[in-house]
Chains A and B, each alone.
Chain A
Amino acid sequence: MKRTNLKTNDLILQTVVKVVFFIIFIYSVYIFFAGHYTPGGGFVGGLMTSSAIVLLLLAYDVKTVAAVIPFNFLKIAATGLLLALGTGMASFFYKVPFLTHAHGPVHLPFFGEVELASATAFDLGVYLVVVGVTMTIIQTIGETE
């Protein structure tokens, strides 16, 4: 096949990705929060978020996506690990074993009584680690010439 430098017109793909990105991202957030009572959780939520970003990478080039989502994904993975470790360490303040989680009704302004579990913070750590690691792998492979 003869290689050309013709810029292909990706208008259809880019327009659809603009819509579909938000559907996948919002659904991944839903999956993350639904993990306590239904199938889902931090791992699949993180994988879906990173797949939405991969879809952006497919439709646009690496520089555009880095300008739109200006995060260092290694730092996101580190933040997730610190968060997971922190929720484990927090149990020491209540003189209970490591990683003991608490849950119960909490009174929040505007929301009223909400049942919250500290396991969600651990799950958020898992989510951030999964997003960070997946995006670091894909961007590292994608940038090598």
Chain B
Amino acid sequence: MIEISKFIIGAFILLGALLCLIASIGVLRLPDVYTRNHAASKGATLGVMSLLLGVFLYFFLVQGHFNSRVLLGIVFVFITSPVAGHLIMRAAFNTNVPLWENSVQNDLQKKKDEEMNQHDS
């Protein structure tokens, strides 16, 4: 029981660390703010949640200690991290940070132009 759970915990910790590494490589390699933010907010959220789940399972299954704060941390990261990504992304768009030059679709720009025209007239 303990030995199997140690393997599962190790898998969760390694998966979380790997996802965080992939997210940071994505932040370095991707071309513009929006794609970088996409990599950072998605990859790092799942990575941190996986790490915290590994920590929770280690203390619960191996040490026999139910730590509800770690579970609260998982829920909290899951709620707040995408919202933080959304707000950073919107702030970048509203300050006219350009998209990557090979981008093909920008629906929000049309919406923004319409609202500006309505506001001016």
Interface residues of A (CB under 8 A from B): 1, 4-6, 8, 12-13, 16, 19-20, 23, 27
Binds A, one of B20-28, B29-37, B54-62, B76-84: B76-84
Count contacts on B: residues with CB < 8 A to the other chain.
16
A20 to B94, CA, bound (A): 25
A8 to B112, CA, bound (A): 11
Given A6-B115, A20-B76: A1 and B83 interface contact (C-beta under 8 Å): no
- Kindly state whether residue B72 has any CB partner on chain A within 8 Å: yes
A21 to B116, CA, bound (A): 34
Task: Say whether chain A's binding surface is mostly helix, strand, loop, or mixed.
Answer: helix
- Kindly state whether residue B8 has any CB partner on chain A within 8 Å: no
Known: A1-B95, A6-B115; 16 extra A-B contacts, CB below 8 A, are A4-B116, A6-B116, A8-B90, A12-B83, A12-B86, A13-B83, A16-B79, A16-B80, A16-B83, A19-B79, A20-B79, A20-B80, A23-B72, A23-B75, A27-B69, A27-B72
Chain A residue at minimum C-beta to C-beta distance from B76: A23
A13 to B83, CA, bound (A): 7
A16 to B81, CA, bound (A): 11
- Kindly state whether residue B119 has any CB partner on chain A within 8 Å: yes
A19 to B83, CA, bound (A): 12
B43-82 interface with A by 8 A CB criterion:
69, 72, 75-76, 79-80
A-B contact pairs, 19 of them (CB 8 A): A1-B95, A1-B96, A5-B119, A6-B115, A6-B119, A8-B90, A8-B94, A12-B83, A13-B83, A13-B87, A16-B83, A20-B76, A20-B79, A20-B80, A23-B72, A23-B75, A23-B76, A27-B69, A27-B72
